[in-house]
C-alpha cells in the first residue's frame, strides 16, 4: 500500500475527470475529512484518513482491500475504473444517461445501451464522453462512454449503440471474485 | 359393393334455414346409408342465424361419394348454395373407434401373442444380446450395441466411390429416432394412463419418488435371463419374460414408453419381423401399466400382483414397482431415521440438543442388533405414526418409513415372502392413510384371512392405534376431561409428539432385549430426560411437560417390557421370540394408552388386540368404569402405594427446602426408579440406571423450564390419568400390574419432584422479574465520571456495585445456580482491576487516569503505561507531533493531488493549503445546512434589521391591496346602473346630431344632464370625488391636487424616492390642466373638433367618449383614488413620524 505517484495520479484523475469533470476536486479536497488514494495490488483505493490509519496495522500481503476501490492500473499503466467507484462518480456525474426499465436488465447483464433503451440523456453530451448510467428512477446503474453525441442520438436508428458499457452494478454479482 | 362402403363424414355447408334433418337425410340417402345428420347453426349476437351447416355421417362407396359431390356440390337447394366436403371424423366417434381398436388389439395380443409372432415370422431376438451376433435366418441383420437388431448397411462413400459396410454392432451412435405416428401403436387412452400411474423412472420422478442407482445390475440380470431363455424352447412364459425384460429396458430409458417404437427402423421388408414383436410388447406393457395404475387404486389387485410376484421370486423388471418403492430408502441408515424422528419431534418443540446424538448412538446400536422381526415392529410403529399424523407429518417421514423397509431387506433373516407381506402391509397402510381408519380396518381384515402372524397383529395394532388417536382427538375436541394443557390447537401437535415417543419407546426395548441390556437403558433414560428437560425449557406451554411424562411412562413401559422379556427369555427360539414380541405388542397398547393419557381407551386397550373394531365405541362405555377401577387399583398396590405415599410426602416437603431438597427429590425419584428396575430387571441394571438418572437429574436441575400456574391442575389430571391407566393395566394383565403400578408410582414421584423444581424455578424467576421494579438503579457499573475520580474511590465504588449485582444475581438464581462461577468471575475482575491499579499511583498515575478518562472507557483506547514513559506531557506532545507529521504528509499528498487535478482539469483552483477553512468555503454550496450547528450560522441569511423596516411598508401595501377592491366594487354597481342611461343618452345625441350640426353647447348640456344623473345616484358617496367632468367641483379638485403635490414632495425627500407617487401626481396634474382647459372652453365659442387628431373610430373629443370617460372614471379612479389618497396621507404621516422617531433614537445612541 503506497500513495500514488504523480504519474499514476494523473492517469487516474484524467480517467475520473471524464465522468465528473471539475467535481474531481471535491473528491480530493473534502470538507468532511481527509481522504486520499492509495495503491495496493495495482488497485487504487479511496480511503479516509481514519481507515488508512487502521489499515496501516495490517501487513501488505494480508490486506485485501481498504476503503473503496476505485479501479486498477493495468499492466500497461492505464487506469480502469471499477464499478465500486460508482458511489463516488454518481453524485458528481456531469453527463448522465437514463435508461428505460426494459433496457435496465440488458445493461446490467453487461450489454451496451441501445437507442431503444435510452430514456433520457444529458444534453450536449459529446461523443466518447464518460457518462453515468441511471435507471429512470434515478438509481445509478453503472457508467460507460457515450457512443454518440446527444445530437447524433436523435438521428440514429433504435438499435444503434448509444452508450458503450464499461461497468454496471451487475458486476457485483457477475464479478464478485474480482471486486475488492 | 357393400364392402367398399366406408363410413364417411360429410360437411354440408351453405344450407338454408328451412332445411331439416330429414331433408338432408333424404337428400343423401340416394348415395348411401345415412346414419346421422347433425345440423349446426352459427348465430350472431342478435340470434340471427349466420351460417348453417351440417355434418352427415354416411356410409358410402367411393364412387357414390364422387357422384354425390359432383351432383350436389355448388347447387342451389332451398335458398342456399350447397357445399359438400369430406369432413374429419367426429371426435367422439373417433374416440369410440379407437377404444374399440385398442380393445381388439389387446385381446389379440393377450390371447394369441405368439400366434401373431409366428404369423409375422417374428423371431425371438432376445436370445442373444451380444453385439455382433447375426440374427438367424436373416442376412445382414445383426444385434447391434444396446441389443437392438439392426441391418448391416452398405453405404456408398461420398468421396471415394467405394461401398462401405456399416456394421451397427461396431458403432455406438447409431440410434436415431425416426418419427412414426404413435396413434397406431399406443392409443391416447393408454398414454394418459401412463402419465398417471406409470412406473417408469420419469413418471416416478414426476411423482417425487427417486429411484436409487440400481439400474445396471438389474439389467445384467435381465440380460442373463434373456440368455437363459434362448436355451429353452419358446414358450409363452418365455415370451412374456422377454417382453417384460424389454419393457424393463425400455423403462430404463428416459422417454420410456415410446422408445421401443422409435428404434431405428429401415424400410426393408424384413424389418417387420422386428417391429411387430416390439409392438406387441408395447401393447402388453400398456396393458400392464393400465392394470398397474388400477392397482394403485385397488389394493386388492395389487396384493394379488404382489403375491404372484413372490411366487416368481425372481427379480424381473416387473418387480420394479416394489423395488422402486424400496429404492428411495436405500441410502439412509437407521440412524438417520431416528434422527429425523427426533428432529421432527424436536422441531415441533423447537429444540435440538445433544440428547439427540445419544439416542442416535443407541439407534446405531439398535441397527446392529436388529433382526427382521424388530425391523418389522419398527416399521409397524412408523406406520402407525404415519397413519396417525398423516396430516402433520411431512413427507420426510415417508422415506423414513420406506427406509425401514429397505433395512428389512438388508437384514434379511426371514423369508422373502414375509418381507413381501410387510411391504404389502405397508403399502396398504400407505394407501389407507388418505382414507379413514375404517378402510384400514377393512384391509387388516383382509390380511387376517391371509396371514395370522405377528405381522397381522402389528397391523391390527396399527389400526387400533389409529383408533386410539382418533378417539383421543375426539375427546380433546369434545369432552371436558381433556387435559388442560392439551388445548385444541396444540392437541394435534402433542399427539404427534406422543406418537413419536411411542414409536421410539418400543423400539428401544427391542435393542435391550437383543443385546446390551444393562448399558442401554440408562442412556436412553438420560437422553429422554435431557430431551424433555430442554423441551420444557423451550416451550412455555405445558405440552412439553405432558410429553415429558409420557416419555417417562414410555421408559417405564420399557422396563416393564424388559421384565417380560426376561421371564420369557428362556425360550431362545426365533418363534418363541416372535411370540414374545407379540406378547409385548399385546402389552404395547396399554402402554400407549398410558402415554396417550386418553382416559377412555385404557380400559379397552387390553381387548384391542382381539377386538379392534370395538375400540371406537368402547371409550364411552369405559369412562365410568375407570373411576371405580382407580380405587380398586389403589387397593391392589398396597406396598407400592405406601412407598409412593412416602415419596410423595417427601416431595411435598421439598418445595420448602431449596436446591438441596431438589437434589434430594431427584434422588428419591431415582430410588423409585431403582425399585422399579429392581423388580423388573437385574440389580446391575439398576446400578447403572442410578448413574443415568443422576446425570439426568443433574441436567434437569440445570436446565429448568418455566412453569405456569397451571401446574396444579395439570398435576391433578395427570394423577387421575395415572390411576386410570394403572387400573386399566390391572384389568388387562394382572401379571404386569405390579410392575406398572410401581412404575407409575415412580413416575408420580418423579413428576412431583419435577413440579417442585419447577415451582422453585418459577418462584426464583418471578423474584428475578420483580427485582428491577424494586430497585432498578442499584446495578450501577462504573461510569466515566467515576473513572475520573481517584483510583481508590473507583475501587470502592465499583465494589459495592458489583456486590449489589452479585446479590441480585444470587437472589435471582436462588439455590439453582452455583454461585461459584459468579464468584470466580468476580474475583477475576478484581484481579484485573488490581493489575491496572498500580499504574495510577502517584502524580503520573493521575495524569494517566485523566488521559484515560479523556479517551473514554473503551478498552481499545486505554492508555496504559506505554504511554507514560517518563513524563506524560512529553508523551502527549510526541503524539501530537506524530499526528501533525501524518497530517502534514497527507496534506502534502493532497496538495499534490490537487495540483494534478488542476493540471488535468486545466483550471485554477483556490489555494488548497489552508485545509479546513478553504475547503469549507469551497464546499459551501454543497454543505448541508444544519441549523443545530453553531458554525453554520454563517450560512443563515440575516433578515433581522431589514424586515423591521419593511414591516410597516408591507402592512401598508397589504392594507392598500385589501381595501382598494372593496371600494371599487361598490362603484362598479353604481356605474353599471348608469351605463344603460349613458348609452341611451348617447343614442339620443346621435339622433340629435343627425339633424343638426354638432354643437359643443348642446353636447355640454347633455353631458351636464348625464352628470347630474350620475351625481344623483352616487353623489352622496363621493364627497371629494374627482371627476373629469366639465362643471362640477372643479375647485375642489384643483385644491386637492395642489395639496397633494405639496404633500408628496416632502415625502419624497424624506423617503428614498417613490416613483409611484411622483408619477401619479404628475398625471393628475396633467389631467387637471386638461380639465382647466376644458373648463375655460364652455364659456367661449365652440371649439372645433378637428383641432384634435382623428382616430379610426372616433374623434378625440367624441361625445361618446365623454360618456365612457365618466364611466371609467367612476369605476377606477375617482372614489378609489380619493379614499386611497386619504389613506396614503395618513399612512405617510405615520411613517414619517416613525422615521423621525427612529432617527431620534439613532442620534441618542
Binary contact (B893, A14; C-beta < 8 A) = no
Query: Which of B122-126, B235-239, B388-392, B430-434 shows the highest mean pLDDT?
Result: B122-126
Q: Which residue has the higher pLDDT, B105 or B412?
A: B105
User: pLDDT tens, B1016-1046?
Assistant: 444 444 444 444 444 444 444 444 444 444 4
Q: What is the SS3 assignment for B598?
A: coil
B219: enclosing H helix or E strand? helix B215-231
B887 contacts A14? CB cut-off 8 A: no
Query: Is pLDDT above 70 for B1055?
Result: no
Nearest CA in chain A to B911: A29
H or E, element range at B264: none
Q: Once rounded to an integer, what is the mean pLDDT over residues B747-774?
A: 75
Residue B576: all three cell numbers together? 418363541
Q: Which residues of A touch B904 (CB under 8 A)?
A: 10, 13-14, 17, 24
Closest CA–CA distance from residue A23 to any residue of chain B (Å): 10
Distance from CA of A2 to the nearest CA of B (A): 11
- Cβ distance of B900 and A36 shorter than 8 Å: no
B744 contacts B648 by C-beta, under 8 angstroms: no
Give the pLDDT score at A154: 84
Q: Average pLDDT, stretch B621-650?
A: 41
pLDDT at A42 over 80: yes
Instruction: Assess whether pLDDT exceeds 60 at residue B1089.
Output: no
Cβ contacts of residue B282 below 8 Å, gap of 6+?
B185, B186, B260, B261
For residue B163, the cross-strand partners are B156
Instruction: Indicate if the pLDDT at residue B274 is higher than 50.
Output: no
Q: Locate B1056 and state its grid cell.
A: 428614498
Do B922 and B910 touch, CB atoms closer than 8 A? yes
State the DSSP code for B1009.
H
pLDDT band at B76 (very low <50, low <70, confident <90, very high): confident
Positive or negative CA dihedral for B676, B677, B683, B688? negative
pLDDT at B127: 54
Q: How far apart are CA B495 and CA B502, in angstroms?
A: 10
User: With an 8 Å Cβ cutoff, are A9 and B900 in contact?
Assistant: yes
**How many Cβ atoms from other residues are within 10 Å of residue B577's Cβ?**
19
| Start-to-end Cα distance in chain A | 14
A25:B887 CB<8 A: no
Residue B1148 pLDDT: 82
Identify the pLDDT of residue B1020: 42
Task: Assess contact for B662 and B755: CB atoms under 8 A.
Answer: no
Taking an 8 Å cut-off on Cβ atoms, the answer to whether B904 and A17 are in contact is: yes
Nearest to A31 among B894, B896, B923 (CB): B923
pLDDT bin (cut points 50, 70, 90) of residue B1104 is: low
State which residue of chain B sits closest to A18, comparing Cα positions: B905
Task: Identify the residue with better confidence: B288 or B1108.
Answer: B1108
Distance of CA A122 to the CA centre of its chain: 17
* B866's grid cell: 506505554
> Angle at which helices B711-732 and B599-608 pack, to 10 degrees?
20
Contact pairs from chain A to chain B, CB under 8 Å: 59
> B428 and B298 in contact (C-beta within 8 Å)?
no
Strand runs labelled E in A7-139: 35-40, 43-48, 68-73, 79-81, 96-99, 113-114, 118-121, 130-135
Positive/negative CA dihedral, B224, B225, B228, B229: negative
What confidence tier does B60 reach under pLDDT thresholds 50, 70, 90?
Answer: confident
- Whether residue B887 and residue A34 make contact (CB cut-off 8 A), yes or no, is yes
Cβ atoms A170, A145 nearer than 8 A: no
CA angle B687, B693, B695 (to 5 degrees): 110
Closest CA to B693 of B511, B559, B530: B530
Within 8 A by CB and 6+ apart from B286, the residues are: B186, B187, B190, B193, B194, B257
Which pLDDT belongs to residue B28? 82
**Which residues of A have a CB under 8 Å from any CB of B?**
3, 6, 9-10, 13-14, 17, 21-22, 24-26, 28-31, 34, 36-37, 49, 53
Which residues on chain B are in Cβ contact (under 8 Å) with A25? 898, 901, 905, 909, 922
* Closest of B441, B482, B373 to residue B611, by C-alpha: B441
Tell me the per-residue pLDDT of B329-375, one tens digit each, with 9 for 90 and over. 333 333 333 333 333 443 333 334 433 343 444 444 444 444 444 44
The mean of the pLDDT values for chain B is 54
Most B CBs within 10 Å, among A29, A48, A70, to test the B interface: A29
Query: What secondary structure letter does DSSP report for B1028?
Result: -
Distance from CA of B854 to the nearest CA of A (A): 19
pLDDT classification of A94: cutoffs 50, 70, 90: confident
Spatial distance between the Cα atoms of B31 and B519, rounded to a whole number of angstroms: 96
Q: What percent of chain B has pLDDT over 90?
A: 1
- Cell 480530493: give the residue: A28
Residue B211 near residue B203 (C-beta atoms within 8 A): no
Measured between alpha carbons, how far is B744 from B1015 in angstroms, rounded to an integer? 121
Contacts of B893 in chain A (CB under 8 A): 3, 36
Give tens-digit pLDDT for B427-447: 444 443 443 444 334 444 444
pLDDT band at B1132 (very low <50, low <70, confident <90, very high): very high
Q: What is the mean pLDDT of residues B183-200?
A: 58
Flag if B900 and A24 touch (Cβ within 8 Å).
no
Element (H, E) at B143: strand B141-143
pLDDT at B206 over 60: yes
Beta-carbon separation of B893 and A17 below 8 A: no
* B845 contacts B839 by C-beta, under 8 angstroms: yes
Most confidently predicted of A130-134, B260-264, B548-552: A130-134
Mean pLDDT within B116-123: 52
Between B946 and B329, the more confident residue is B946
Q: Are B1041 and B1072 in contact (CB under 8 A)?
A: yes
Q: Parallel, antiparallel, or unpaired for β A96-99 and A130-135?
A: parallel
What distance in Å separates the CA atoms of residue B286 and residue B318, rounded to the nearest whole number? 13
Residues of B with CB under 8 A from a CB of A: 886-887, 890-891, 893-894, 896-898, 900-901, 903-905, 907, 909, 912, 915-916, 919-920, 922-923, 926-927
Q: Pick B904's closest partner by Cβ from A3, A10, A31.
A: A10
CB B703 within 8 Å of CB B710 = no
User: pLDDT category, B307, cuts 50, 70, 90?
Assistant: low
**pLDDT at residue B1109 is higher than 90:** no
Rounded to the nearest 10 degrees, what angle do helices B945-995 and B1000-1018 cross at?
130
Q: Which of A9, A31, A53 is the closest to B927 by Cβ?
A: A31
Distance between CA atoms of B884 and B892, rounded to whole angstroms?
12
Distance CA A17, CA A85 (A): 13
- Which pLDDT does position B199 carry in this prediction? 63
> Which of A6, A7, A34, A50 to mutate to test binding with chain B, by most B CBs within 10 Å of its CB?
A34
Is residue B1130 predicted with pLDDT exceeding 90?
yes
Q: Which residues fall within 8 angstroms of residue B1133, CB to CB, at 6 or more apart?
A: none
Judge whether residue B383 has pLDDT over 50: no
The pLDDT assigned to B1142 comes to 93
Compute the distance between CA of residue B744 and CA of residue B265 in angstroms, rounded to an integer.
77
What is the pLDDT, as a whole number, of residue B974?
Answer: 52
Preferred mutation among A9, A18, A37, A55 to probe B, highest tally of B CBs within 10 A? A9
Residues B609 and B461: beta-carbon distance below 8 Å: yes
What contacts B693, CB < 8 A, 6 or more positions away? Answer: B522, B525, B526, B529, B666, B669, B670, B673, B674
pLDDT tens-digit readout, A53-92: 888 888 888 888 888 999 989 999 899 998 998 988 888 8
Overall average pLDDT of the A108-124 stretch: 88
Q: How far apart are CA B983 and CA B1104, in angstroms?
A: 8
Spatial separation of the C-alpha atoms in residues B140 and B596, rounded to whole Å: 75
| Nearest residue of chain B to residue A48 (CA atoms) | B890
Q: What's the rounded Cα separation, in Å, for the pair B789 and B393? A: 65
Assembly ipTM = 0.73
Question: Of A5-19, A68-82, B175-189, which range is least confident?
Answer: B175-189
Over residues B823-836, the mean pLDDT reads 52
Q: How far from each other are the two terminal CA atoms of chain B, in whole angstroms?
A: 139
A22/B905 CB distance under 8 A = yes
> Is the CB of residue B467 less than 8 Å from the CB of residue B461?
no
pLDDT at B1135 over 90: yes
Contact B896 A21 (CB under 8 A): no
H/E stretch holding B775 reads none
Angle between helices B416-432 and B299-312 (to 10 degrees): 160
Calculate mean pLDDT across residues B2-23: 76
Among B887, B898, B900, beta carbon nearest to A29: B898
pLDDT confidence tier of residue B213, bands split at 50, 70 and 90: low
Give residue B1143's pLDDT.
Answer: 92
Cell numbers found for residue A54: 487502521
Q: What are phi and psi of B539, to 5 degrees?
A: -90, 125
From the list B900, B905, B912, the residue facing A29 with the nearest CB is B912
Across the interface, do A13 and B901 touch by the CB < 8 Å criterion? Answer: yes
Calculate the alpha carbon distances from A48 to A23, A38, A53 in Å: 18, 10, 9
Enumerate the H helices of B452-542 as residue ranges.
454-478, 491-514, 520-538
How many of the other CB atoms lie within 10 Å of CB of B959? 13
Average of per-residue pLDDT across B1084-1095? 48
> What three-state secondary structure class fits B934?
coil
What is the structure's pLDDT at B1139? Answer: 93
CB-CB under 8 Å, A21 with B897: no
pTM (two decimals): 0.27
In this predicted structure, the answer to whether residue B1119 has a pLDDT above a threshold of 60 is: yes
Residue B581 has pLDDT above 60, yes or no: no
Amino acid at each position: 500500500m503506497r500513495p500514488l505517484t504523480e504519474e499514476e495520479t494523473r492517469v487516474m484523475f484524467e480517467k475520473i475527470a471524464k465522468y465528473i469533470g471539475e467535481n474531481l476536486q471535491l473528491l480530493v479536497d473534502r470538507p468532511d475529512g481527509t481522504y486520499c488514494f492509495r495503491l495496493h495490488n495495482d488497485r487504487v483505493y479511496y480511503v479516509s484518513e481514519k481507515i488508512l490509519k487502521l489499515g496501516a496495522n495490517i501487513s501488505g500481503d494480508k490486506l485485501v482491500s481498504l476503503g473503496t476501490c476505485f479501479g486498477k492500473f493495468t499492466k500497461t499503466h492505464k487506469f480502469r475504473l471499477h464499478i465500486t467507484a460508482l458511489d463516488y462518480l454518481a453524485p458528481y456525474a456531469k453527463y448522465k444517461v437514463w435508461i428505460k426499465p426494459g433496457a435496465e436488465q440488458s445493461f446490467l447483464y453487461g450489454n451496451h445501451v441501445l437507442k431503444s433503451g435510452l430514456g433520457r440523456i444529458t444534453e450536449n453530451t459529446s461523443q466518447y464522453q464518460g457518462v453515468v448510467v441511471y435507471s429512470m428512477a434515478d438509481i445509478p446503474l453503472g457508467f460507460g462512454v457515450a457512443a454518440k453525441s446527444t445530437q447524433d442520438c436523435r438521428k440514429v436508428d433504435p438499435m444503434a449503440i448509444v452508450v458503450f458499457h464499461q461497468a454496471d452494478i451487475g458486476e457485483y454479482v457477475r464479478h464478485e471474485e474480482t471486486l475488492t | 359393393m357393400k364392402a367398399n362402403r366406408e363410413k364417411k363424414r360429410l360437411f354440408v355447408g351453405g344450407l338454408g334455414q328451412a332445411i331439416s334433418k330429414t331433408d338432408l337425410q333424404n337428400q343423401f340417402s340416394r348415395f348411401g346409408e345415412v346414419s346421422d345428420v347433425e345440423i349446426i347453426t352459427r348465430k350472431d349476437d342478435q340470434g340471427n342465424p349466420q351460417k348453417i351447416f351440417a355434418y352427415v355421417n354416411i356410409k358410402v362407396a367411393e364412387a357414390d361419394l364422387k357422384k354425390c359431390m359432383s351432383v350436389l356440390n355448388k347447387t342451389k337447394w332451398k335458398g342456399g348454395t350447397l357445399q359438400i366436403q369430406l369432413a374429419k371424423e367426429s371426435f367422439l366417434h373417433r374416440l369410440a373407434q379407437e377404444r374399440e381398436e385398442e380393445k381388439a388389439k389387446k385381446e389379440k395380443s393377450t390371447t394369441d401373442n405368439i400366434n401373431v409372432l409366428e404369423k409375422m415370422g417374428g423371431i425371438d431376438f432376445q436370445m442373444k444380446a451380444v453385439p455382433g451376433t447375426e440374427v438367424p435366418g436373416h442376412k445382414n441383420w445383426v444385434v447391434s450395441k444396446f441389443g437392438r437388431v439392426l441391418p448391416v448397411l452398405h453405404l456408398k462413400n461420398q468421396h471415394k466411390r467405394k461401398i462401405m459396410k456399416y456394421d451397427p454392432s461396431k458403432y455406438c451412435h447409431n440410434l436415431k429416432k425416426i418419427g412414426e405416428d404413435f396413434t397406431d401403436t399406443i392409443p391416447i387412452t393408454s398414454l394418459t394412463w401412463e402419465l398417471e400411474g406409470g412406473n417408469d423412472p420419469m413418471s416416478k420422478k414426476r411423482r417425487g419418488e427417486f429411484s436409487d442407482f440400481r439400474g445396471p445390475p438389474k439389467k445384467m440380470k435381465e440380460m442373463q435371463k434373456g440368455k437363459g431363455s434362448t436355451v429353452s424352447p419358446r414358450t409363452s412364459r418365455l415370451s412374456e419374460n422377454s417382453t417384460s425384460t424389454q419393457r424393463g429396458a425400455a423403462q430404463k430409458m428416459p422417454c420410456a414408453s415410446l422408445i421401443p417404437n422409435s428404434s431405428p427402423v429401415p424400410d426393408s421388408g424384413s424389418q417387420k419381423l422386428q417391429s411387430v414383436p416390439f409392438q406387441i410388447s408395447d401393447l402388453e406393457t400398456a396393458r400392464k401399466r393400465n392394470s398397474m395404475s388400477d392397482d394403485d387404486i385397488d389394493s386388492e389387485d395389487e396384493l394379488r400382483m404382489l403375491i404372484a410376484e413372490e411366487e416368481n421370486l425372481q427379480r424381473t423388471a416387473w418387480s420394479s414397482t416394489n423395488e422402486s418403492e424400496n429404492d428411495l430408502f436405500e441410502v439412509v441408515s437407521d440412524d438417520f431415521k431416528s434422527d429425523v424422528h427426533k428432529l421432527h419431534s424436536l422441531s415441533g418443540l423447537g429444540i435440538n440438543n445433544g440428547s439427540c446424538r445419544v439416542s442416535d448412538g443407541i439407534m446405531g446400536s439398535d441397527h446392529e442388533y436388529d433382526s427382521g422381526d424388530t425391523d418389522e415392529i419398527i416399521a409397524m410403529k412408523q406406520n402407525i405414526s404415519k397413519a396417525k399424523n398423516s396430516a402433520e407429518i411431512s413427507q420426510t417421514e415417508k422415506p423414513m418409513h420406506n427406509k425401514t423397509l429397505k433395512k428389512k431387506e438388508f437384514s434379511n433373516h426371514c423369508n422373502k415372502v414375509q418381507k413381501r407381506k410387510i411391504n404389502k402391509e405397508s403399502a396398504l397402510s400407505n394407501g389407507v392413510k388418505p382414507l379413514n381408519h375404517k378402510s384400514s380396518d377393512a384391509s387388516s381384515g383382509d390380511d387376517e384371512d391371509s396371514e395370522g402372524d405377528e405381522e397381522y397383529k402389528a397391523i391390527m395394532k396399527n389400526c387400533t392405534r389409529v383408533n386410539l388417536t382418533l378417539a383421543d382427538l375426539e375427546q380433546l375436541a369434545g369432552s371436558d376431561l381433556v387435559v388442560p394443557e392439551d388445548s385444541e390447537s396444540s392437541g394435534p401437535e402433542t399427539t404427534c409428539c406422543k406418537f413419536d415417543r411411542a414409536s421410539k419407546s418400543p423400539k428401544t426395548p427391542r435393542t435391550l432385549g437383543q443385546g446390551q441390556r444393562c448399558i442401554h437403558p440408562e442412556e436412553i433414560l438420560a437422553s429422554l430426560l435431557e430431551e424433555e428437560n430442554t423441551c420444557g425449557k423451550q416451550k412455555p406451554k405445558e405440552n412439553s411437560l405432558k410429553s415429558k411424562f409420557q416419555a417417562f411412562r414410555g421408559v417405564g413401559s420399557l422396563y416393564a417390557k424388559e421384565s417380560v422379556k426376561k421371564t420369557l427369555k428362556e425360550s431362545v427360539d426365533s418363534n418363541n421370540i416372535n411370540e414374545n414380541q407379540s406378547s409385548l405388542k399385546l402389552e404395547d397398547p396399554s402402554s400407549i394408552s398410558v402415554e396417550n393419557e386418553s382416559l377412555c381407551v385404557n380400559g379397552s386397550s387390553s381387548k384391542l388386540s382381539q377386538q379392534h373394531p370395538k375400540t371406537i365405541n368402547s371409550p364411552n362405555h369405559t369412562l365410568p368404569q375407570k373411576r371405580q377401577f382407580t380405587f380398586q387399583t389403589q387397593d391392589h398396590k398396597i406396598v407400592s402405594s405406601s412407598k409412593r405415599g412416602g415419596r410423595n410426602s417427601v416431595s411435598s416437603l421439598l418445595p420448602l427446602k431449596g436446591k438441596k431438597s431438589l437434589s434430594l427429590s431427584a434422588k428419591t425419584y431415582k430410588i423409585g426408579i431403582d425399585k422399579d428396575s429392581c423388580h423388573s430387571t437385574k440389580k446391575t441394571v439398576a446400578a447403572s440406571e442410578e448413574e443415568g438418572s443422576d446425570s439426568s437429574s443433574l441436567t434437569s436441575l440445570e436446565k429448568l423450564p418455566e412453569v405456569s400456574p397451571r401446574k396444579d391442575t395439570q398435576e391433578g389430571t395427570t394423577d387421575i390419568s395415572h390411576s386410570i391407566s394403572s387400573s386399566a393395566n390391572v384389568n388387562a394383565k394382572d401379571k404386569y400390574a405390579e410392575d406398572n403400578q410401581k412404575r407409575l408410582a415412580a413416575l408420580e414421584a418423579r413428576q412431583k419432584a419435577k413440579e417442585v423444581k419447577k415451582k422453585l424455578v418459577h418462584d426464583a424467576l418471578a423474584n428475578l422479574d420483580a427485582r428491577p421494579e424494586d430497585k432498578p438503579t442499584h446495578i450501577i457499573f462504573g461510569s466515566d465520571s467515576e473513572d475520573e475520580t481517584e483510583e481508590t474511590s473507583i475501587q470502592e465504588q465499583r465494589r459495592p456495585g458489583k456486590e449489589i449485582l452479585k446479590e441480585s444475581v444470587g437472589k435471582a438464581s436462588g439455590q439453582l445456580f452455583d454461585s461459584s462461577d459468579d464468584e470466580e468471575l468476580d474475583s477475576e475482575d478484581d484481579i484485573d482491576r488490581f493489575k491496572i491499579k498500580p499504574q495510577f499511583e502517584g502524580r503520573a498515575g493521575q495524569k494517566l487516569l485523566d488521559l484515560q478518562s479523556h479517551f473514554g472507557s473503551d478498552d481499545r483506547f486505554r492508555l496504559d503505561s506505554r504511554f507514560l514513559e517518563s513524563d506524560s506531557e512529553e508523551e502527549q506532545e510526541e503524539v501530537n507531533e506524530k499526528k501533525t507529521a501524518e497530517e502534514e504528509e497527507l496534506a502534502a499528498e493532497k496538495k499534490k493531488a490537487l495540483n494534478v487535478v488542476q493540471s488535468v482539469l486545466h483550471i485554477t483552483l483556490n489555494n488548497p493549503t489552508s485545509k479546513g477553512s478553504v475547503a469549507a468555503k469551497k464546499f459551501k454550496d454543497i454543505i448541508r445546512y444544519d441549523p443545530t450547528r453553531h458554525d453554520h450560522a454563517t450560512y443563515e441569511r440575516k433578515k433581522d434589521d431589514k424586515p423591521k423596516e419593511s414591516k410597516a411598508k408591507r402592512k401598508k401595501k397589504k392594507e392598500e391591496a385589501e381595501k382598494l377592491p372593496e371600494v371599487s366594487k361598490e362603484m362598479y354597481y353604481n356605474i353599471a346602473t348608469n351605463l344603460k342611461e349613458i348609452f341611451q343618452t348617447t343614442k339620443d345625441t346621435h339622433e340629435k346630431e343627425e339633424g343638426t350640426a354638432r354643437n359643443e353647447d348642446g353636447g355640454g348640456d347633455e353631458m351636464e344632464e348625464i352628470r347630474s344623473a350620475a351625481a344623483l345616484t352616487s353623489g352622496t358617496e363621493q364627497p371629494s370625488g374627482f371627476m373629469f367632468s366639465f362643471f362640477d367641483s372643479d375647485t375642489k379638485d384643483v385644491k386637492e391636487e395642489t395639496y397633494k403635490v405639496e404633500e408628496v414632495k416632502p415625502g419624497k425627500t424624506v423617503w428614498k424616492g417613490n416613483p409611484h407617487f411622483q408619477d401619479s401626481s404628475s398625471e393628475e396634474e396633467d389631467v387637471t390642466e386638461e380639465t382647466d382647459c376644458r373648463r375655460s372652453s364652455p364659456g367661449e365659442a365652440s371649439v372645433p373638433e378637428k383641432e384634435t387628431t382623428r382616430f379610426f373610430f372616433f374623434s378625440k373629443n367624441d361625445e361618446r367618449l365623454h360618456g365612457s370617460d365618466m364611466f371609467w372614471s367612476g369605476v377606477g379612479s375617482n372614489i378609489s383614488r380619493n379614499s386611497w389618497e386619504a389613506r396614503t396621507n395618513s399612512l405617510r404621516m405615520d411613517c414619517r413620524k416613525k422615521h423621525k422617531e427612529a432617527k431620534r433614537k439613532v442620534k441618542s445612541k
